[in-house]
Amino acid sequence: MSARGREKTRLHVVIVANTHSGGGKLRRFRLIERAERLGAQIRVIGEGQSASSLARAAVEQGAEVLGVAGGDGTVSAVAAVAAATDHPLLVIPAGTRNHFARDLGLDIRNPGRALPALLEAESARVDLGVAGSRIFVNNVSFGIYAEALLEPRYREAKARTLVSLAPGYIGGQRWVEAIVDAPQEAIECPQVVLVSNNPYQLSPPRHLGRRFALATGLLGALVIKRPPEPPAPPDLLPRLRRALLRQASAGLPETGVVTWSAPQVVLHGSAPGLPAGIDGEPVELSLPVRCEIRPGALRVLLPKRWPGM
């Protein structure tokens, strides 16, 4: 994370809250009531409303700080508005995974520990990713996960949905209809493409998938190539994990998995568009897809004295 500044936050703070995130964390930790006692105004996302529309309305009504309480998809939507309007963002990790909050250094097991930032906070600049015109705080994915997000049953049965789609990818009948420009080659029709806002940690194993820096000015890219024959055993996720651990721990090449860091990653091809998952939300992106980093685009407010990253 970039160098921090210290600032009082007795300002007009509006928090956009998603009560459906995290299995009821907002209610369980009484986050709305506690935030209101500290002077924040709460805007709960209602039926037919979006996090981004509530955030824009808050800015138009004079909010000086935008807050967000929810999962990564909600955080991503409000972060896009905060960056576009140069408003600081205060994140309360009230979702299920809370990857962005975790990598900011917040306590995702006790989201209430983010609330003291309403009184006094440390300010830091972090990067944002953009895919086409869409902002992402974590990653944009193409392939089996992106396709699963489009399935109506995914939210209720995530593992079952992924398992139902896996045979087509494992058997080589399904792939990402695009070419990815990697540093050493153009990778045609890969199985999976993952582009992250700052590179993911690959070692040691307990840190796999973490980001300990969010201001490197680089995207992380990970591509699983389409195998010439179905891999054995036929399980895509263990295959990826084994490959990454092999790369990280032994420094050995893994021809099926390519990783690199760059300020831009481009996917192109003849298809009109690609299904994608942006911070866990399904979208359709037109080709070519240009993924770029926006260094220091977002100012975040973190609780004073919290160690952070």
Which structural domain, as residue segments, surrounds residue 270?
A: 136-295
Coil vs helix vs strand at 33: helix
Percent of the chain's residues with pLDDT above 90: 67
Domain for residue 308, yes or no?
no
- pLDDT given at position 257: 87
DSSP 88: -
Give the CA distances from residue 112 to residues 10, 135, 245, in Å, rounded to whole numbers and listed in that order: 18, 26, 34
What CATH number is associated with residue 12?
3.40.50.10330
CATH number at residue 191: 2.60.200.40
The pair of three-digit structure tokens given for residue 67, joined into one six-digit string: 């807050």
- Contact, 279 vs 138, CB < 8 A? yes
Convert the pLDDT of each residue in 238-268 to its tens digit. Answer: 655 665 555 554 444 456 889 999 999 999 9
**pTM of structure:** 0.84
Nearest by Cα to 243 from 255, 234, 229, 233: 255
Helix (H, G, I), strand (E, B) or coil at 205: helix
Q: In terms of domains, do 63 and 206 share one?
A: no
What domain count does the chain have? Answer: 2
Task: Tell me, yes or no, whether 309 lies in a domain.
Answer: no
Which two structure tokens, joined as six digits, stand for 267? 């996917």
Confidence of residue 95 (pLDDT cuts 50, 70, 90): very high
Q: Based on the domain organization, do 157 and 290 belong to the same domain?
A: yes
